[in-house]
């Protein structure tokens, strides 16, 4: 996860994580972004998108959208708009040999060569996304120069407006210029050798696009064509916010997808042109007579944002996560169930009974929660 530390992130950064599943680096990026930022988490392998979405939901994210597209399709829509682009590229996985026998079994010179070819194509496409003055951060979990120094040197040969920014960290070894057989100084790359620090080891490079390296791109002030949620749905969600989560606020559009209300990050006109699997934070389910808040919304919230919070001890939390009702008097209506200051999910109180709204697919028998805690 050292690669995310090389991204320059602030309150307004637009980031693309192009090989995002299962989401470890994506959640790490999201944690460092501000309310006016945007994170596009892309995964080209459709079978891996579900895990990415589940991990982002459990992390509690609001400024992230998920796409399932080939990188060139994203670049056709979002050319030159991202401040930071991360390519943690598929590779031959030499850094995984220690703990994954299948990685050793799959390795071959042909695998290395095929990986390097895919990486060159991926970098070429990813570069189109970077705005002038922005960065393309490239990493692999392999050691061979064919997938590291030689890929970076080839990229620099093909992109004279780009430079290699040095990574200054005494824990990391420098890249090896002599392994690329070009005139480029590649010592600014970082090699994380497993015999020199904790971890499997990998390689990182920061490729910087020059401020004057301009290409035509979509203007960020393009008119937004966002199909806002109907007025009754907006009014019902607004009433829920006022009554149940008065401390909640994010900069977003409220849109309706089927019977769901979704809080879409402020993306300007590109929101209507980018095919998205997930369009931000799922707020809940809307019907003409009611609004049901989502589990994703519960996990995004902080307890102090809510007017009705029920702190649970460990045994109560285990029972709640098992799907049991909780008996406790208090204000009727929606209740945020919490443990040790963290949200667990929703309940709905009537009298002294809190009906459990923890998702059925996530429930486990109470004994399993107790045994997990030792």
Q: What is the DSSP string of 279-316?
A: -SEEEEEEETTEEEE-HHHHHH--GGG-SSEEE--HHH
Distance CA 264, CA 63 (A): 8
| d(C-alpha 339, C-alpha 360), whole Å | 19
DSSP code per residue over 240-281: HHHHH-TT---SEEEEEETTEEEEEE--GGGGGTS--SB-SE
For the segment 144-154, the average pLDDT, to the nearest whole number, is 97
* Coil vs helix vs strand at 198: coil
Tell me the mean pLDDT in the region 25-52: 93
Q: Which residues are catalytic?
A: 141
- Say if residue 258 is exposed, middle or buried (CB neighbours under 10 Å; 0-12, 13-18, 19+): exposed
Instruction: Give the pLDDT confidence score for residue 217 in this predicted structure.
Output: 46
Extract the tokens encoding 356: 């459990």
What residue ranges of the chain are covered by domains with CATH 2.30.130.60?
Answer: 303-374
2-209 homologous superfamily: Vaccinia Virus protein VP39 (3.40.50.150)
Residues of the chain with CATH 3.40.50.150: 2-209
Give the pLDDT mean for 356-370: 88
Cα angle value 143/14/256 (rounded, 5°): 120
For 290, the token pair is 């009611």
Secondary structure letter of residue 95 according to DSSP:
G
Contact between 40 and 67 (Cβ < 8 Å): yes
> Mean pLDDT, to the nearest integer, of 35-63?
93
- Residues in CB range of 251: below 8 A, 6 or more apart: 35, 36, 265, 266
Per-residue pLDDT tens over the stretch 276-320: 999 999 999 999 999 999 999 999 999 999 999 999 999 999 999
Q: Is the pLDDT of residue 369 over 90?
A: no
CB 116 within 8 A of CB 150: yes
Extract the tokens encoding 291. Answer: 């609004």
**pLDDT tens readout for residues 211-253:** 876 554 444 444 456 778 999 999 999 999 999 999 999 888 9
What count of other Cβ atoms lies within 10 Å of the Cβ of residue 74? 24
pLDDT of residue 366: 82
CB 174 within 8 A of CB 190: yes
| Sign of the torsion angle spanned by Cα atoms 108, 110, 114, 116 | positive
**Which residues have CB under 8 Å from 282's CB, separation 6+?**
57, 260, 261, 262, 263, 294, 296, 297
Q: How many CA atoms lie within 13 A of 194 on its CB side?
A: 13
Tokens 């009611």 -> residue: 290
More confident residue, 197 or 236: 236
Of the ranges 51-55, 179-183, 261-265, 309-313, which one carries the lowest mean pLDDT score? 179-183
Mean local confidence (pLDDT), 7-23? 94
How does pLDDT run across 93-129, given as a tens digit for each residue? 999 898 889 989 999 999 999 999 999 999 999 999 9
Please name every residue paired with 365 in a beta bridge, in sequence order, or none if there are none: none
How does pLDDT run across 56-103, given as a tens digit for each residue?
999 998 899 999 999 999 999 999 999 999 999 999 999 989 888 998
Comparing 299 with 367, the larger pLDDT belongs to 299
d(CA 367, CA 319): 9
User: Are the CB atoms for 95 and 72 separated by under 8 Å?
Assistant: no
pTM listed for this prediction: 0.91
Cα within 13 Å of Cα(324), Cβ side: 16
What DSSP character marks residue 27? Answer: H
> CATH number of 303-374: 3.40.50.970, 2.30.130.60, 3.40.50.2300, 1.10.1200.10?
2.30.130.60
| Sole residue written with tokens 């402020």 | 266
How far is it, in rounded angstroms, from Cα 356 to Cα 312?
A: 13
Residues 264/271, Cβ–Cβ less than 8 Å: yes
What is the structure's pLDDT at 224?
52
Residue 273's pLDDT band, with cuts at 50, 70 and 90, is confident
């Amino acid at each position: 996860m050292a690669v995310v530390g090389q991204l320059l992130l602030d309150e307004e950064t637009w980031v693309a994580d192009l090989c995002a599943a299962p989401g470890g680096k994506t959640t790490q990026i999201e944690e460092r972004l501000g309310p006016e930022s945007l994170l596009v988490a892309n995964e080209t392998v459709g079978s891996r998108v579900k895990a990415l979405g589940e991990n982002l939901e459990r992390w509690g994210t609001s400024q992230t959208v998920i796409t399932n597209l080939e990188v060139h399709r994203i670049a056709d829509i979002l050319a030159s708009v991202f401040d930071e682009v991360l390519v943690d590229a598929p590779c031959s996985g030499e850094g995984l040999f220690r703990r994954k026998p299948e990685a050793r079994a799959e390795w071959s010179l042909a695998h290395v060569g095929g990986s390097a070819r895919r990486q060159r194509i991926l970098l070429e496409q990813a570069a189109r996304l970077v705005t002038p003055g922005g960065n393309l951060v490239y990493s692999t979990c392999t050691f061979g120069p064919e997938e590291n120094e030689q890929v970076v040197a080839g990229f620099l040969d093909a992109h004279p407006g780009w430079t290699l920014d040095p990574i200054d960290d005494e824990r990391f070894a420098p890249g090896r210029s002599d392994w690329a057989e070009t005139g480029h100084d590649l010592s600014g790359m970082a090699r994380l050798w497993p015999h020199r620090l904790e971890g499997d080891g990998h390689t990182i490079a920061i490729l910087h696009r020059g401020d004057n390296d301009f290409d035509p791109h979509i203007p960020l002030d393009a008119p937004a064509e966002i199909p806002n949620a109907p007025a009754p749905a907006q009014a019902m969600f607004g009433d829920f916010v006022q009554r149940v989560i008065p401390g909640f606020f994010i900069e977003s559009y409220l849109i309706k997808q089927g019977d769901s209300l979704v809080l879409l990050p402020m993306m300007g006109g590109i929101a209507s042109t980018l095919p998205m699997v997930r369009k931000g934070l799922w707020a809940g389910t809307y019907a003409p007579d009611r609004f049901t808040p989502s589990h994703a919304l519960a996990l995004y919230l902080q307890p102090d944002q809510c007017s009705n919070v029920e702190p649970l001890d460990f045994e109560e939390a285990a029972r709640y996560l098992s799907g049991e009702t909780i008996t406790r008097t208090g204000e009727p209506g929606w209740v945020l169930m919490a443990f040790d200051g963290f949200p667990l999910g929703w309940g709905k109180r009537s009298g002294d009974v809190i009906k459990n709204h923890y998702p059925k697919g996530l429930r486990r028998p109470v004994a399993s929660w107790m045994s997990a805690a030792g």
